[in-house]
Amino acid sequence: MSLLVGLMLRVFAVVAVCLAGASAWTMVEANQSIRTELSATASRVESEARSLAWREVMFRGNEGAQARLAFPEWRTANSLRIVGPGYCVTLEWTGDAPARVCGGDPGRKTGEAPGWFAELNTALFGPILPDVRTVTSGRHEVGTVRAEADQATANWQAWRQVSVVVGVAGAMAVAIALLASFAIGHALRPAEVIARGLNKLENGDLSVRLPTFAAREFAQVARAFNDLTERLARTTEQRAAVTRRLFQVQEDERRSLARDLHDEFGQCLTATRALASAVATGSRDRPAVWDSAREISAISEGMAATLRSTLARLRPPDLDEIGLSRSLEHLVSSWNARTATATRRPTFRLDLAGEVDDVPAQTALTIYRIAQEGLTNAAKHGAPKLVRIGVERLDGPEPVVSVSVEDDGGGGIEALSGGPGHGLIGIRERVDALGGRFVAEASGSGGVRISARLPVGAVPELAAA
C-alpha cells in the first residue's frame, strides 16, 4: 500500500469517528431537549391550572370542602399554546373526570423515524417517563397534572436533528477529507520524484539529479541524493578508467607474451621438427631410431598447432589495419575450420549490419573479445548446431554498437557463471569500463545468449588521481 493511500484511509477513518461522535452527541442533545421540554410543559400547565383555580375561588366564591372547581378554558386555544407538539397533558380536578389535551394540529401527521433508529434510541436512552405535578390552591390539593411525550414523535424529533446535523457535518467532513487528501498528495509528490530518481540510479543512470523541493525535508533528501550521485559518478568513472588501463596493460602483456612465445618457443619447435626430420632421413636403416624421430616430429606438430591456437587467443589480428569486420570473419572461419573434422560439426555464422570498422580501438577490441569468449563458451559448455554472432551499429543521437553471441547447444547460464573460469566476469568488466551494458541470459533456441551494447565515441583516458 502506498503512503498516500494509507494517509487517505487514516483521514477517512478520523472523519468516520468524528461523524459517529457528532451523531451520538446530537442524539444525547435531542433526548435531553425532549425531556427538558416535557418538564417545561408540565410546569406551564401546572402554573396555568393554579391560576385558574385561584380565579375560580376569588371570583366565583367556590370554597369549602364540597366546592367544585371548573376549568372552562382548558380546551381553548390558550391551552394549546402552552402544550407543545408531540406532548399530551392530562388535567384531573379533584372529583372531576380527567381532561386530556395534546399539542399540535390533530389532523397533521408528523414524520416517522426509521425502525432501527427508534429501537437504537429507545435502547440507549430508555422510554420517556411522564412528569406528574400536583395543583394546589392555598393549602388544598385541587388536582393533578400529568405531562407525557409521544415516543414516536420523540424518536422523529431525534432522527430529524441527527439527520440534519450528520448530513451537514458529513458533507463538510467529506469535503475536508478530500481537500486534505489532495493537500497530502500534493505534499507527497516529491516522494514520487525521489522514487523515480532512485529507480534510474538503480538501473545505472548516474546522470540523474533531483530538483530543489520547497519542503525543507525533501530538499535535504534531494541535496543528499545529488551529492551521492555525483560522488558515485566520479568514483565509477575513476574505477572505469583504472579498469580500462588494466585491460590495456593486460593486452600489452598478452602481445609481449605472444611475441616471446612466437620468437622463442616457436623457433625451438621449428628447430626440433627440423632435427627430427633429419634424424629420420638418416636413420632409415635403423627402425628404432626412425620411429622415435617420427614420433618427435608428430609431437612437435601437435605442439605447434597448440602454439598457433594460443597465439591467436593472446594476440588478436591488428584491428587498425584489417578492420573489425575482417577480424571477426577470420575468427569465425578459423572456428569453422577447427571443427571441420568433428563428429557433430557446429556451424559458426557472422551477421554484420552497419559500418563497424570505424569504432574506437578499445571498443573494437572489446567486441572482438566478446565474440571470442562467446564462441569458446558455446563450444566448451554445450553441444550447439549453430552459433551465431551478430554485430550491428545503431546510429542516432547516441550511436551504439550491439554485439551478441547466441547458440542452441543447451548449456545454461549456471554452467558459465559457476565454472572455474572468469571469462564472463572479464567481459562484463570490459563493457562496464566503456560505459556499456552486458547481459547473459538463456536464448530462445535452447542455449545461451550473451550480448552487450557499447557506446560509439571517444573513450576517456585514465583520470589523474
106 and 177 assigned to the same domain: yes
Per-residue confidence (pLDDT) for residue 66, from 0 to 100: 47
Say whether pLDDT at 45 is over 80.
Answer: yes
Residue 60: pLDDT band with limits 50, 70, 90 = low
Report yes or no: 356 and 329 within 8 Å, Cβ to Cβ: no
Per-residue confidence (pLDDT) for residue 316, from 0 to 100: 66
- What value does the mean pLDDT take over residues 267-289? 79
Tell me how far apart the alpha carbons of residues 186 and 37 are, in angstroms, rounded to a whole number. 50
User: Residues 6 or more apart from 389 whose CB is under 8 A from it?
Assistant: 328, 332, 348, 349, 350, 351, 371, 374, 375, 403, 404, 405
10 and 84 assigned to the same domain: yes
User: Residues 6 or more apart from 97 whose CB is under 8 A from it?
Assistant: none
User: Does residue 197 lie within any of the structural domains?
Assistant: no
356 and 415 assigned to the same domain: yes
Report yes or no: 460 and 237 within 8 Å, Cβ to Cβ: yes
Tell me how far apart the alpha carbons of residues 337 and 462 are, in angstroms, rounded to a whole number. 40
CA dihedral sign of residues 309, 315, 319, 320: negative
Tell me how far apart the alpha carbons of residues 229 and 225 are, in angstroms, rounded to a whole number. 6
223 and 263 assigned to the same domain: yes
Which of 186, 220, 248 corresponds to the end of one domain?
A: 186
Number of domains within the chain: 3
294 and 333 assigned to the same domain: no
- Looking up residue 358, the CATH number of its domain turns out to be 3.30.565.10
356 and 443 assigned to the same domain: yes
Q: In degrees, to the nearest 5, what angle opens at C-alpha 166 toward C-alphas 164 and 168?
A: 70
Per-residue confidence (pLDDT) for residue 65, from 0 to 100: 44
294 and 336 assigned to the same domain: no
226 and 287 assigned to the same domain: yes
Say whether pLDDT at 437 is over 80.
Answer: yes
Query: Among the listed ranges 76-80, 135-139, 229-233, 245-249, which one has the minimum average pLDDT value?
Result: 76-80
User: Does residue 192 lie within any of the structural domains?
Assistant: no
Looking at every residue in the chain, the average pLDDT score rounds to 78
Per-residue confidence (pLDDT) for residue 73, from 0 to 100: 47
The C-alpha cell at 287 is: 627402425
309 and 334 assigned to the same domain: no
Per-residue confidence (pLDDT) for residue 420, from 0 to 100: 47
**C-alpha to C-alpha distances, 75 to 40, 51, 102, 455, nearest whole angstrom:** 19, 15, 10, 105
State the Rg of the chain over Cα.
Answer: 52
160 and 107 assigned to the same domain: yes
Report yes or no: 245 and 464 within 8 Å, Cβ to Cβ: no
Residue 189: pLDDT band with limits 50, 70, 90 = confident
Residue 72: pLDDT band with limits 50, 70, 90 = very low
- What value does the mean pLDDT take over residues 433-448? 83
Which of 130, 155, 186 corresponds to the end of one domain?
A: 186
User: Does residue 60 lie within any of the structural domains?
Assistant: yes
pTM for the model: 0.49
- What value does the mean pLDDT take over residues 215-225? 87
User: Does residue 299 lie within any of the structural domains?
Assistant: yes
Per-residue confidence (pLDDT) for residue 252, from 0 to 100: 76
Residue-number span of the structural domain to which 288 is assigned: 203-315
Per-residue confidence (pLDDT) for residue 320, from 0 to 100: 65
Tell me how far apart the alpha carbons of residues 455 and 359 are, in angstroms, rounded to a whole number. 9
Strand-strand pairing, 386-394 and 347-353: parallel
Say whether pLDDT at 75 is over 50.
Answer: no
Tell me how far apart the alpha carbons of residues 111 and 128 are, in angstroms, rounded to a whole number. 19
Per-residue confidence (pLDDT) for residue 403, from 0 to 100: 92
- Decide which of 225 and 86 is more confident: 225
Per-residue confidence (pLDDT) for residue 100, from 0 to 100: 82
Which of 315, 346, 362 corresponds to the end of one domain?
A: 315
Of all residues in the chain, the percent with pLDDT exceeding 90 is 3
User: Does residue 78 lie within any of the structural domains?
Assistant: yes
Per-residue confidence (pLDDT) for residue 464, from 0 to 100: 37
User: Does residue 366 lie within any of the structural domains?
Assistant: yes
User: Does residue 193 lie within any of the structural domains?
Assistant: no
Tell me how far apart the alpha carbons of residues 57 and 75 are, in angstroms, rounded to a whole number. 20
126 and 100 assigned to the same domain: yes
